[in-house]
Amino acid sequence: MKSSVISTISKISWYLLILCLPFTSFSLVSQVFGGTSVAPLSMIFLIILFVIAFVPNLLRTRSLPSQVILLLLFVVSALISSALGNYIYIPSYRSAPVLKNAIEGFITLATGVSFFIITIMLNKDEKSIITSIKFINLSGILIVIYAFVQAGSWRLTNEYPAVLYKFQEIISSNGRLYPGRVNAMAMEPSWLAHQLTLLYIPLWLSFTSQHFSIYKRKMFNRLSYEFVFLIFGFLVIVLTLSRIGWLTALTLVVVILIQKINQAYGNYNLKRNRTVRWSKRLLFWFVVFLSLLIIVGIIGYIFTRVDPRMAKLFNIYQYIGKGLPGLIGWASLLGIGERIAYWYIGYRVFLLHPFMGVGLGSTGNFFGSLIPEFAFRLPEVIKAFVTELTPPNPKSLWFRLLAETGVVGFTFFSAWVYQHFYYAKSLIRAKDNKLIKVMGIFGILAIIALILEGFSLDTFGLPYYWITLGFIAAAYRIRKEKDQD
């Protein structure tokens, strides 16, 4: 097969991969991979790209991008952790096979690493990045349209029509629709929020904050398309009723606001050619912080009216004498006490095996023996303990890394993420190239989102943060090559 044909097939597969990003657990793919819930439709095109693009390139060049080194060290450490797991005591959890869970963990990890490498390979210049972003925007439009269809159907009739259920059974492994919440093509609302906050919102927000667009025309000759996409993206985030999604989106906006305020304050003083005393600067930022705190409080109050689970957000003393005490009691009233229980179990597993962990997929086996006392008063945990046949997950990427790969694996993975934070910071300094600067801001926002979202999801299989960091690495490589010319 000629190289031009392979190149064309690779590009088409890459664009289809991007267009399929909204589908997080496609039924057909899930069946092929043994019924796993994490089965994005993009995996089909990832496999094609792996076979026709990655493998031949690896055999020809016998090298990988340098940005993969820390990630490969993490993979090796995870393999060693899983191998050493055979020599430590891992409790049995309803005869769930430890080896099967470990293999599934490595499959999802290999999937994520492949998404990262393929993103770097298929974005070798600014033109390819721009084209990729256009397809990302198109997939984002698909999310927004279908999310609004779901929301409109529910608001108008207080139920979903049968045709939506049939469609959901095709595009999602569980076929569920959630009363009063949108999940678009994702398996559940929190997964929809995850894909928005890890990819789409940071991308649109970075373009909007820099008043830059990849499109020549504007909507109504005034608004950039990225700004319009951003507004609709925020609306969909609200409709998911995902609290971690709300928190992450709000944090990203606050970060941009602080950056804009700092820039405006610096320019104001520069124009007047004056040096501001530290006391006045401290007073200024205290006022800014107080103002932002009030705004966040107002938004939090609005959310208490939107989501019944948030109704007791500010009633921190309501838990006194009612159920669980202290912070755990308050968290349980907000419906996040269960998450804390899962994190606590993961942390206790880490304390038992802090250096190398217990191996991928083995944290859940300790669920029955390390479940904290307060968790027996949380309905979701009790239901999992009594009815679940498979070991529960830690519900957090960070606690999972600590428990399953120990300090060693956690350090390698964190170093890899920080490496991309460094890349993003260097891209922001590229004042002569607006696109590269925007990609730097995109990287900073996405990494902040990853840190927060890492307390909600614990899988390696969803492609969003892998692709996001892949774009940052690709932009850094492009910038570095130009500097060397």
The position carrying tokens 């996040």 is: 336
- Residue 454's pLDDT is what? 92
Residue 9 near residue 113 (C-beta atoms within 8 A): no
DSSP three-state, residue 223:
strand
- The pLDDT assigned to 321 comes to 46
- The angle subtended at Cα 415 by Cα 21 and Cα 72, nearest 5°, is 65
Closest by CA to 456, choosing from 403, 394, 402, 408, is: 394
d(CA 36, CA 24): 11
For residue 231, being part of any structural domain is answered with: yes
Could you tell me which of 472, 481, 473, 13 has the C-alpha nearest to residue 203?
A: 472
Which whole-number Å values give the CA distances from 295 to 146, 227, 246, 256, 381, in the listed order?
31, 21, 14, 15, 34
pTM assigned to the model: 0.89
Start-to-end Cα distance in the chain: 33
Closest CA to 406 of 364, 360, 370, 340: 360
C-beta atoms surrounding 1 within 10 Å: 8
How many other β-carbons are positioned within 10 Å of the β-carbon of residue 87? 6
Taking CA atoms, 334 is separated from 44, 190, 272, 311, 315, in Å, by: 39, 16, 49, 8, 10
Token duo for residue 471: 């774009």
CA 388 to chain centroid? 26
332 inside domain: no
Asked if residue 369 belongs to a domain, the reply is no
Alpha-carbon distances, residue 86 vs 26, 270, 357, 359 (angstroms): 33, 63, 12, 9
Which domain, by its residues, includes 145?
Answer: 3-313+394-484
Supply the angle between the helices 162-171 and 126-157 in degrees, to the nearest 10.
150
Q: Evaluate whether residue 54 is within a structural domain.
A: yes
Task: Give, for all 485 residues of the chain, the pLDDT tens digit.
Answer: 567 888 889 999 999 999 999 998 877 776 666 556 666 889 899 999 999 988 888 888 888 888 999 999 999 999 999 998 888 888 877 777 778 888 888 888 999 999 999 999 999 999 999 999 999 999 999 999 999 999 999 888 888 998 998 888 888 877 788 888 999 888 889 999 999 999 999 999 999 999 999 998 888 778 999 999 999 999 999 999 888 888 899 999 989 988 888 777 677 666 766 666 767 777 776 777 787 778 777 776 666 666 666 556 556 555 444 455 555 655 665 567 678 888 888 999 999 999 999 999 888 888 878 887 777 777 777 777 777 777 788 889 999 999 999 999 999 999 999 999 999 999 998 878 899 999 999 999 999 999 999 988 888 988 999 999 999 999 999 998 877 66
Contact at 8 Å (CB) between 401 and 411?
no
Going by the DSSP 8-state scheme, the letter that residue 174 receives in this structure is S
Number of domains in the chain: 1
Quick check: 130 and 435 in contact, CB under 8 A? yes
